Structure 1
Amino acid sequence: MNLFSPLYLRSLTLKNRIVVSPMQQYSAINGIPGNWHLVHLGSRAVGGAGLILTECTAVSPEGLATLNDVGIWNDEQKTAWKNIVDFVHEQDAKIGIQLWHSGGKGSLRHPNERMKPLNDEEGGWTVKSSSATEINGVVPKELTVEEIHELTKKFADAAVRAVEAGFDTIELHAGHGYLFHQFYSAVINKREDEYGGSFENRIRFLIETVREVRKVIPEIMPLLVRISAVDYIDTPEGWTLEDSIALSEILKENGVDLITASGGGFTNVSKDKVFPGYQVSFAAAIKEKTGILTGAVGMITEAHQANEIITSEKADLVIIAREHLRDPYFAIHSAKKLGIVTEIPWQYQRAF
């Protein structure tokens, strides 16, 4: 088994273990992906990646972080995504959509404007979270139980549209300080009802949503979840790797097929904790303890490094972000470096 071995997820076959990580492009209008997204995602499919994951895709307008993020809460967005899905499939690659809600980290300006909070005149909205706990200088409004149930339905509705658009798999973004993470981490969640307090209560929103999404997508379609394996906050409230292992076991029991183990979201990670492959151990621990398939992230930038993660069975997929920005053809170049024969688009073969 190596970086270019196929991986089987329910009925889905990935031709290799290289995944284009979700990376926000802040280039949409009204949540609709456009030509930028077609070229951005399509070129990585041409470049040989086995699985392309879209950037965070909001399930409602209030789920956006900025007004330039993508969504899939209406049919116009669904149709635009289908054009991209079809092109990726033409390149013999698979594509998944990452469904997401920013929660208390929403209503922000474009990153070129340093992501400061939007005001009403700029189209800002009232952000809501598990609790009225400050996040990045903003205190969100606490969601009601009824609103939580409505959000679960919006995730399920978005999943239905994703299936109709032709996506091969769905990933729920439950990390990086966004809404699901704002519930399961006690750093943010201060509720005293059935969605707060105990571990079981804090994970309830995510588990209920997983169950509803699993109900509305085909049995043969894999379901993925990205979590923050640790908060990088050394307090009793901080989410830990042991918590993530327990959560992953429950997600597995509820029909989740693969966990991507990232980290952080509420604080800057200390520079001494950031190094090549610095989060791979999270995926390895979750895989070892629960038996669920995992995806590894964290400054994976080089072919031999990525291959070693797979050959040593630390994870089942390598989720590569910034190196794919630098090199859309990372997969083809990696095969060359590893001495592995891989398919190259006929249009480009004369260059390789």
Structure 2
Amino acid sequence: MNSKGFTLFTALVAFILISLSILLVNSMVSSERNNFEIISDISEQQEMQAIADLTRADALQVFNFGIRYSIESFSKEDNRVPIGEPDNPYILFATNSDWDSLQENFIAEKFGIGTGDSDPGPFATLTASHMTNLLSRAESIRGFEIELAEQRREVLARGLQRTLNGSSSSSDFLELVNCDSGNYSDCVGTFYVTLDLSRGSITDSDYEDFPQISVTNNLTERTLREPILPRGKFRIYVPVRLFKALAGARAVGFASGDGVLDDSLWDDIDALPDQSAMESRLDSQVSTLVSNNNLEADDDGFYLESYKVFVLTDSDNKLLRYDVDLIFKEDNPKYRVESVNIENKYMITLRRNRA
């Protein structure tokens, strides 16, 4: 009897030990499986993150190019008659004699800085159009599908305009290269622009208007989505010499009383008897100012290509307005974004109206 009891007890203990062993083995297998899944998830996340980072770096370069290209294209666009004259001249008035205020007015008009406009301006619209075309495709990698999330151009244009509006002054957005005084002969005229996407400068909803990258693992169908532009400030170099053209135009417009926009020249021309005499006097003065400032001389590929004058009078030959169109040409590819077989011309119009 004792032998049978001992045998039964031994069998029970053995059963318990076997059960515990099975539970322990299952636990170890489960832990190993969980560890493997965690390691796989981490490895997959790291691989997808690396792919996203590389794609974002490429897309960021495209974005930088798109901004530079848009600024150049917007400034020199020449699609309307007469061919050879830019379609978007900048008009300089008598109130723009100060170099700092000229910069403020220029970027407010061309880029919408500090205007507070909620609707996208021409520059934001043009940039959004270029960006949506440039970022429309992305090459996939074996095992992963890479997409640049489709972004409607009007949404991107609105986001760009709000970002531009976030710049409170020209100094937040613009930095000139070697052109602080506005002296034509010493001015390089290229510049940097800054897009501020840092927190506090742009809302989350506006930030989401910018394009995003999507990386999908074809096996697990797991998707990683990230914005092309990380939070922060982006400083973009624009190689075009727009501000050298502005400095040259300013030298013609303001010349110690003898400039096209100075009061004394207006009074002199206003005293002449007819439109022909007025145009002749204006043309002569412009020729003198151009010569005095060596604007037609080649300055590392940049020079004044041509100019023309226009005088408007009433039926009694009373002077109402005159314009001087100055067309500067860039022949140095170092200062062009789209440098292949493309002529860069920038037109500045000096305009004086009767008060």
TM-score tier after normalising by the smaller chain length? under 0.3
Q: TM-score, normalised by structure 1?
A: 0.25
Could you say which structure has the larger radius of gyration?
A: 2
